[in-house]
Structure 1
Amino acid sequence: MIQTVESILRETVVDTDPARAFEIFTADMTSWWPSAHHIGSAPIERIVIEPHRGGRWYTRHEDGTETSTGFVAAWEPPGRVVLTWQIGADWKYHENLVTSVEVTFTEAGPGRTRVRLEHRDLDAFGADAAAMRGTFDEPGAWTATLEAYAVAARIPTP
């Protein structure tokens, strides 16, 4: 029997246009990603999403090491990016584990953007799927992450 685990859905509206909202999400993730949310042994120096389909999503740490999160499955600025999430229930990168995080950026009025995040394909976690969904559904997970992003999106560009 195949288990079907419901996706995690979160959304927010930010006071910036879709192109800037997309840029903040993809090119400036270091400024808003919660510093405790990483799998490396050292603090985050920089989070990188290479801006093309097939690009890497990874973290460079202050000690020079890198940890992978996944890859860019779709790169469609300014409207959509799909990233693979390949971190398992053991909080380590797994090449053969693929879940998807799709983020869309839709105009919600002049200078405003609705940002919708869906973390799907959670069945890929196998026996850990329900537990991982519960983890991602907690207030400190995708909710807090998207809230941190929304705060960063409100800060004017220097």
Structure 2
Amino acid sequence: MSAKIKRFQPKDKLVKQQDLLKLQSALELFPELNEKKVASLMWEAKKQAHLHEETKEGKPFIMMFSEQNTLVVRWLTANSKRPLKALELWAVLFEYVNYETGQIMLSRQELADKLEIHLNHISNIMSELESINAITKEKEGRGVTYYLNPNVGTHLPQPHRKEAQSQAPKLALINGGKE
């Protein structure tokens, strides 16, 4: 018989987790709400409660497709105007992705602060990543929302993963401006 290790949580953390589950359940009663805004709200609530990095089962993970990730890393190394910062940004994006939606939850300014580089450099690197379909973006008014391409990395369970991957653009690596 094998022993099972149980991680004990402080009571206040357990209460916050339960409150967040109640909030999520309440929001699910309103399917007409914007799914992205609900996901952003839940992410922010978890972040404020210092719960964004953990679930009941432990720290969440992103399933990386090693071949796709290697292609992105090699492309950034060879083609980015700022290859070291581009690689650092690529790694940071995985730390701040909403596991349920694939949305990158930090703003460009927050990313710039984390990497200690100018905001324009973040925009340029994100454009580089978008040009090869490693990430996608959606414009919302003057703002931009970025998403990790599920063909590169995802946390979605199998049926949802296959659907998201079929709808996502294929990774397109460009050599010398030619596809």
Give the TM bin, normalised by the shorter chain: under 0.3
Higher RCO, Cα 8 Å, sep 6+: 1
Rg larger in 1 or in 2? 2
Greater helix share, 1 or 2?
A: 2
Q: TM-score, normalised by structure 1?
A: 0.27
Q: TM-score, normalised by structure 2?
A: 0.25
